[in-house]
Amino acid sequence: MRSRSHRHRDGKTIGSHDQDEQPAVLGAAASTPTGRRREFLTGLSVPAGVLVLWQGIILVFVLPLVNFLFTHALALAGTPNLTDRNFPRILHSPSSVLLFLAIGFIALGALALQYTSVIALVGRIRAGSEHPGTTAGRQAWRATGRALGFQAPLVAVYVFLLMPLGGLAELSPLTREIGVAPFVTAEYLKKPLSLSLYLSMISALVYLNLRLLLTIPLLVTRGLSPLRAMLSSWQATWHRRLRWPGILASPLLAAALMFGVPGRTVAWLATLPGALMKTDSHLVATLGLGAARATAFVLMVVTTVAFIRWALAWLDRNVPGGRATDSTESPTVHRARSPRPGNPPTRGPGGRRLALRTTAGAAVVAIAIMGAPAVAAAPPPTSEPLVIAHRGWMWGGVENTLGALESAATQDPELVEVDVQQTKDGHFVASHDTNLLLLSGHNVNIYDLTLAEAEATTVSARGFTDHIPSMVDYVRRARELGVKLLIEPKVHGHETADYVDRFEEELASVGPLENNIYHSLDADLVESLKARRPDLSVGYTIAMTVGGVPDVNCDFLVVEQASYSKRFLDQAHAAHLPVYVWTVNREDRIRNYLYDGVDGIVTDHPQRATTQRSRVEAHPATAFPLRDVVKHLASVMPTSR
C-alpha cells in the first residue's frame, strides 16, 4: 500500500503514516551529536538500571521463595538433598513433583520478565517512545505471557539448558550455576577420540545458540510465539550465515576492552589501600573485594545492554517486519511527538530524573548484592586443609598406576587418592575407568577380566605407559613411600556378594586398614563399611547435589566443585563433617575454596595446591580473592565466550 505523505518544497517528507518510514524520522530525531549522545546514554543507563534492579528482585524475593519451596519438596520426598542417585525417589512423591513444577514456573516467569522487560525497554527508547517504561512494561508482560503458555516447556529448555550450556546465562543468579560439571569435562579430555567428541558437542551448542540468538528479541518486538520466534531466528541467521563472524566480532571486542582495561584498573585500585597501609587487614581486603565485584558486575550489565541494543538494531535492518510498536501507541501520534529534523532532540526534566533515579537505584542494588557477601566474609580457619593428589600425579604417570603414585610422592601431598574395582575373579585392581577403551585402546571392562589379565593390560596417557596394578601392590608401594591413601572402592554393578569382605581381606594382607582413609559414591557401601569398621574414617562422595547435607553415616564429605557452595560447607561443618572438594586445578578456585574454609582440596596438581595454601596462610586477608573475582567475571562474560 502506498503511504500517504505530503512533500515540502525542500523535498523532505512529513506527516507520513507508513511505519516503514519510522526509522528515518527516528534517525532525524537524533541527528545532532548531542542528541545521539544523549539517546545513547539514556538507552544504555536506564535498561542497565532495570536489569540490575531485576537482579535485586530475583536475589531478594525469587531465590528465597525457590529455596523455600525446594526445601519443602525435598522434605515431602523424605530426603535432605537432590542428587543424581536419588532423583527417582523424588518422582514417587506427587506433592514433590507439583512443587518442583511450581518452582520451574516461578523461575521461568522471573527470567522471562527480566529478559523481556530489558529488551522491550531498549526497543522503546530506541524508537523514541514518549513513555518507554509504560509501553515496555506492557510489551514485556504480553511476551512473558506467551513464554509461559503451552509452549513453556520449549522456552524452559532454551533458557535453562541451551543458553547456560552455551555460556549465555551467567548474568542471572537463577542460571549461572547451570553447566557441565568439570569432572565430566576432564574425563572427555583424556584422549583424542573423546576430546573430538567433546569439541563436537561444544561446537553444536555454540552453533545452536548462535542460530537462536534472536529468539527472545523476536518474541518481544514481533509478538511471535516462542516456536515462531525460534524458527524466525533460525531463518534470519541462516540467510546471513557468512556475516556472523563479523557480527560477533563487535561485542566480543567490546567485552575484551571493557574487562581488559577497567577490570584490571579496578583490581589494582582496590588492592592499593592494603599495599599502602602495609597490612593484611581483613576489612580493607573485603571492602576492596566488594567494590571490585560491584564494578565488574556493572560492566557485565552495561555490556549486555549494549549487546541488546546492537541486536535490535541489526534486527531492524535485516529482518522484515519493521520495529514493533505497542498497540496502545499509534505510530502517527508517536511521530508527531518526535522533534523536527532541524531541531536537536531534547529530554525533559522528567526523563532526566528517570535516568538518574534508575541509575542511582541500580548502583545501590549492585553494591548491596555484590559487596555484602564480601564484607560478611570470614577469614579462613586456622587448621591446615589437606592437599590430596587425584589418582596420583597424572603429569608423572598414567592415572592410578605405580608410576603416578611414585610421582605424586615427590609432590608432598597429605593424601593420594586411588580408585579400585573388583575383577572377574573377585580381586581388586587400581582403575577409575570400568571400560578400558580410552586408556588401553581395547573395548573391555574390568569386570570381564581376571586379576592376571587386568595386570597384563597396558595403559597409556600423556606420553606415559604403564600396567594396571593390583590394589595390594598399590597399597604396598604407597606404604613403602610413606604415602597415606584415600581409597575409593568403585561399584560397577558386577560385584560378588561378599564384596566388602574381600575388600577388607585384601587390604588387611598389606597392613592395618586404619593406615588409610576411604570414600565412595555408593551410600550403601559407605554405611556398610562404617557399620563393620566404626574405627575407619569413611567418607561419602557426591558427584551432583542440590540441597542440604545428605543423611549418610560417614566421617567426611567429598563434593564435586560444581555442586559445592558456602552454604553446603557451613551445613556440613555444623554437622561436624569435614568437606573435601574435587577436582580443583585452577589456582584462583583453589584459593577461593581455601578462603571459604574447606578441609581438603583434591587436585591433579598437588604442588600447585600446596603453593596456594602457603600463600593463603601467609596472607589470609590480602586481595587474592579480589583478583580472582575480577578474572572469573571476565571469563564468564555472556558475550565473551
Tens of pLDDT along 32-83? Answer: 667 666 767 777 788 888 888 898 899 999 999 999 999 999 989 888 888 8
Query: Residue 428: what are its φ and ψ, rounded to 5°?
Result: -125, 140
Answer for the pair 385, 411: CB distance below 8 angstroms, yes or no: no
Answer for the pair 83, 550: CB distance below 8 angstroms, yes or no: yes
Mean pLDDT of 631-635: 48
- Compute the distance between CA of residue 226 and CA of residue 147 in angstroms, rounded to an integer: 6
User: What proportion of the chain, given as a percentage, has pLDDT over 70?
Assistant: 71
pLDDT attached to residue 172: 80
- Lowest mean pLDDT across 236-250, 346-360, 401-415, 511-525: 346-360
CA angle 21, 24, 29 (to 5 degrees): 130
- Compute the distance between CA of residue 20 and CA of residue 325 in angstroms, rounded to an integer: 12
Nearest to 65 by CA among 173, 177, 148: 173
Answer for the pair 392, 405: CB distance below 8 angstroms, yes or no: yes
**Per-range mean pLDDT, top range of 70-84, 159-173, 344-358:** 70-84
Please check the confidence at residue 156 and state whether its pLDDT lies above 80: yes
Confidence grade of residue 593 (pLDDT, cut at 50, 70, 90): very high
The grid cell for 495 is: 560385584
**Per-range mean pLDDT, top range of 118-132, 159-173, 333-347, 517-531:** 517-531
pLDDT attached to residue 41: 74
**Per-range mean pLDDT, top range of 36-50, 378-392, 462-476, 587-601:** 462-476
Q: How far is CA 600 from the centre of its chain?
A: 22
Residue 131, CA distances (Å) to 139, 378, 538 in order: 12, 46, 64
Burial class, 441, CB count within 10 angstroms (exposed 0-12 / middle 13-18 / buried 19+):
middle
Mean pLDDT of 151-168: 90
pLDDT attached to residue 355: 54
pLDDT attached to residue 375: 42
**Per-range mean pLDDT, top range of 19-23, 68-72, 535-539:** 535-539
CA angle 523, 525, 529 (to 5 degrees): 120
- Compute the distance between CA of residue 380 and CA of residue 599 in angstroms, rounded to an integer: 10
Give 265's contacts (C-beta < 8 A, 6+ positions apart).
none
Give 424's contacts (C-beta < 8 A, 6+ positions apart).
447, 448, 449, 450, 453
Confidence grade of residue 236 (pLDDT, cut at 50, 70, 90): confident
Mean pLDDT of 608-633: 68
Confidence grade of residue 357 (pLDDT, cut at 50, 70, 90): low
Answer for the pair 606, 583: CB distance below 8 angstroms, yes or no: no
- Compute the distance between CA of residue 401 and CA of residue 398 in angstroms, rounded to an integer: 6
Confidence grade of residue 607 (pLDDT, cut at 50, 70, 90): very high
Residue 618, CA distances (Å) to 584, 602, 611, 622 in order: 21, 21, 11, 9
- Classified by CATH at the fold level, domain 386-623 comes out as TIM Barrel (3.20.20)
β partners of residue 542: 559
Query: Residue 601: what are its φ and ψ, rounded to 5°?
Result: -120, 115
User: What proportion of the chain, given as a percentage, has pLDDT over 90?
Assistant: 46
CA angle 411, 415, 416 (to 5 degrees): 75
Helix (H, G, I), strand (E, B) or coil at 595: helix
* Percentages of the chain per state (helix, strand, coil), in multiples of 5: 60, 10, 30
Domain with CATH 3.20.20.190 in the chain: 386-623
- Compute the distance between CA of residue 171 and CA of residue 522 in angstroms, rounded to an integer: 35
Helix (H, G, I), strand (E, B) or coil at 620: coil
Neighbours of 94 (CB within 10 A): 9
In the numeric block, the cell 555460556 is attached to 167
pLDDT attached to residue 322: 52
CA atoms lying within 13 Å on the CB side of residue 42: 28
pLDDT attached to residue 358: 55
Residue 157, CA distances (Å) to 178, 520, 559, 588 in order: 12, 33, 27, 32
- Compute the distance between CA of residue 211 and CA of residue 207 in angstroms, rounded to an integer: 6
- Compute the distance between CA of residue 419 and CA of residue 402 in angstroms, rounded to an integer: 13
Mean pLDDT of 436-447: 93
CA atoms lying within 13 Å on the CB side of residue 640: 20
- Compute the distance between CA of residue 614 and CA of residue 411 in angstroms, rounded to an integer: 14
Cite the DSSP H helix spans in 379-470. Answer: 402-409, 437-440, 451-455
Answer for the pair 591, 616: CB distance below 8 angstroms, yes or no: yes
β partners of residue 556: 539
Instruction: Specify the higher pLDDT residue, 496 or 8.
Output: 496
Answer for the pair 164, 153: CB distance below 8 angstroms, yes or no: no
pLDDT attached to residue 348: 46
Answer for the pair 175, 160: CB distance below 8 angstroms, yes or no: yes
pLDDT attached to residue 9: 38
Please check the confidence at residue 190 and state whether its pLDDT lies above 90: no
CA atoms lying within 13 Å on the CB side of residue 533: 19
Mean pLDDT of 9-35: 44
What pLDDT digit, counting tens, does each position of 277-330 carry? Answer: 555 555 565 666 666 667 777 777 888 888 888 888 888 887 766 544 444 444
3-state secondary structure 15-46: CCCCHHHHHHHHHHHCCCHHHHHHHHHHHHHH
Give 24's contacts (C-beta < 8 A, 6+ positions apart).
none
Please check the confidence at residue 581 and state whether its pLDDT lies above 50: yes
Q: Find the helix or strand (DSSP H, E) in which 523 lies.
A: helix 523-532
Mean pLDDT of 388-404: 95
Answer for the pair 575, 550: CB distance below 8 angstroms, yes or no: no
- Compute the distance between CA of residue 331 and CA of residue 322 in angstroms, rounded to an integer: 12
Positive or negative: CA dihedral 177, 178, 184, 186: negative
- Compute the distance between CA of residue 591 and CA of residue 628 in angstroms, rounded to an integer: 8
Nearest to 457 by CA among 425, 435, 481: 435
Task: Please give the mean pLDDT across all residues of the chain.
Answer: 79
β partners of residue 177: none
- Lowest mean pLDDT across 90-94, 111-115, 385-389, 442-446: 90-94
- Lowest mean pLDDT across 26-35, 166-175, 503-512, 525-534: 26-35
pLDDT attached to residue 455: 97
Mean pLDDT of 355-383: 50
- Lowest mean pLDDT across 305-309, 515-519, 605-609, 610-614: 305-309
pLDDT attached to residue 86: 79
Residue 611, CA distances (Å) to 44, 146, 391, 411 in order: 44, 53, 19, 11
Cite the DSSP H helix spans in 151-214. Answer: 152-157, 163-165, 182-188, 192-211
What is this structure's pTM? 0.74
